[in-house]
Amino acid sequence: MAYLFTSESVSEGHPDKIADQISDALIDNFLAFDADSKVACETLVTTGQVILAGEVKSNTYLDVQQIARDVIRKIGYTKSEYMFEANSCGILSAIHEQSADINQGVDRKSPEEQGAGDQGMMFGYATNETENYMPLALDLSHSLLRELAALRRENKEITYLRPDAKSQVTLEYSDDNTPIRIDAIVISTQHDDFDEEAAMLAKIKKDIVEILIPRIIAKNPEHAHLFNDKINYHINPTGKFVIGGPHGDTGLTGRKIIVDTYGGKGAHGGGAFSGKDPSKVDRSAAYATRHIAKNLVAAGVADEILVQVSYAIGVAEPMGIFIETYGTSKVNLTNGEIAKKVEAIFDMRPYFIEQRLKLRNPIYSETAAYGHMGRTPEVVTKTFSAPGGDEKTVTVELFTWEKLDYVDQIKTAFGL
C-alpha cells in the first residue's frame, strides 16, 4: 500500500542552528591552533544575548566573543530591528577546563588506544533513492532552504526575506518504496513587515511557488517528475512571521539532530554533533557509520543500509557493530555476517576513525547548517585569527565521510 513520509529542515538563521554554528566555529578555531584540543561547547541564543558554556582542554587562547559575532554576522543578523544583531548582542562566556576524570579515560600513552569520549550508540544510514545516498524528503527540504538563503543574499527577485526559516516535504511512496510524487511542501520564512497581512501572504506564496520552486527543479532535474500541480503548499501557515530568530525563540546547540542526520529515516542514537571535538564518538562514530553505510550501498551490498556502533567511555574497542538491510540485501549473507565483514574492513576505534576521516582538522563550521550528511567532499583553504595577531592558514578536506573511497575494497570482500 502506498504511504506518505515527511522530513523537515531549518535554515542557518534558525535559533538552534545559530547555536550550532557558533559552537562549531569555536571547535574549528581551537583545532586550527591546537589539533589536540578537547572541546565540548554549548551555545544558547535569545533576544540580544548569547551564552557560551562548556569544557575545553587546549593550548590556545581564543577571543570567543569575536568568533560568535563573526558567525552571527555571516548568517545575516545585521539589523537592529531583528532584536538580535552581531555587533550589539551581549555575549557571556562560561567555558571552563575539561574534567580531568574524563580526560584520563580518553588520552592514552599510545594514541591508538585512545578511549571513547563517552558511552552510547551511533547510527549511519544510506539509501540509493538519491545520487548522494540520502533520504529524498530530507534532501529536498535542505535544498529548499539553501536556495531560499541564496535568494535572500541576492536580494533581487525576493527582497523582504529575513534569516529564520523552516521547510518540510511530504513524499508519496509506491508499494515498492519508490518515491512517486511530492504530496506537500511547508515553508515558513521570516520576512520584513508588510502594511497589509493578506497581501503579504499572497505575495510570499506567489514568490515561493513561482520563483523558489522553479530554481529547485532546475537544480534537481532528476527529481523534476515528482513536482506536480497537486502539491499542497503551506506557506507561512500561521500568517505573519516578522518576529523570528533568537527574538522569536530561544536557540540551543544540539536540538536539531534529526535535521542534521537522516530526517527520521534509519535511526539516531540521541547524541548531538555540533560543539564536540572528534574524541566524542557521538560525532566521529556517527560520521564513520555514515561512511560505511554509503560505501556499502554504493558497492551494491544492499539498496538501503543502517549501521550501528556502540561504545563504553574510556574503552577503545566498540561494543559491537550491527547492520540492518531492510530486506534489500544483494548478497547471500545474513545481516550478522555482513557486520563481521564490515568489522574486518573498518577499524572503529576512535583514533583510527579520526585518522581515516581526517577529523582533527577545522572542518566543522560547514557541517552546522543544512545537514552533516549527504554533502559534497571538497578541499578548501581557511584562515583563522587569534588574540595577539596570530594567524593560521590551513588547507583541509571537508565531508570526508561522504567519499566513496572504500567501494572497491567492499566489492572485493563481498565478491561483487
Would you say 162 is a known binding-site residue? Answer: no
Residue type at position 383: T
Strand, helix or coil at 83? coil
272 is in an annotated binding site: yes
404: cell is 566513496
Instruction: For strands 179-191 and 232-235, give the pairing.
Output: parallel
User: Would you say 98 is a known binding-site residue?
Assistant: yes
Q: Distance between CA atoms of 45 and 90, rounded to whole angstroms?
A: 10
Q: Tell whether 168 is in a known binding site.
A: no
User: Closest by alpha carbon to 346, among 416, 297, 290, 273?
Assistant: 290
| Cell 538501503, located at residue | 304
Cα–Cα distance measured from residue 153 to residue 163, given in angstroms and rounded to the nearest whole number: 10
Give the cell for residue 130.
538519491
Query: Do the annotations mark residue 156 as ligand-binding?
Result: no
Q: Determine if residue 354 is labeled as part of a ligand binding site.
A: no
Is 14 labelled a binding residue? yes
- Which residues are CB-contacts of 226 (< 8 A; sequence separation ≥ 6)? 171, 179, 180, 181, 182
Query: Would the annotation count 402 as a binding residue?
Result: no
Distance CA 38, CA 176 (A): 46
For residue 166, say whether it is annotated as part of any ligand binding site: yes
Is 240 known as a binding-site position?
yes
Question: Does 205 count as an annotated binding residue?
Answer: no
- For 317: left if phi > 0, alpha if psi spans -120 to 50, otherwise beta; the answer is beta
229 is in an annotated binding site: no
Find out whether 275 and 20 touch, Cβ atoms under 8 Å.
yes
Flag whether 175 is marked binding. Answer: no
Instruction: For residue 37, count CB atoms less than 10 angstroms from its CB and return exposed for 0-12, middle for 13-18, buried for 19 or more.
Output: buried
Is there a binding annotation on residue 40? no
Q: Which residues are annotated as a binding site?
A: 14, 16, 42, 55, 98, 164-166, 240-241, 249, 255-256, 272, 276, 280
- Provide the annotated binding site for Mg(2+): 16
Residues in binding site for ATP: 14, 164-166, 240-241, 249, 255-256, 272, 276
> Which parts are annotated binding residues for L-methionine?
55, 98, 249, 280
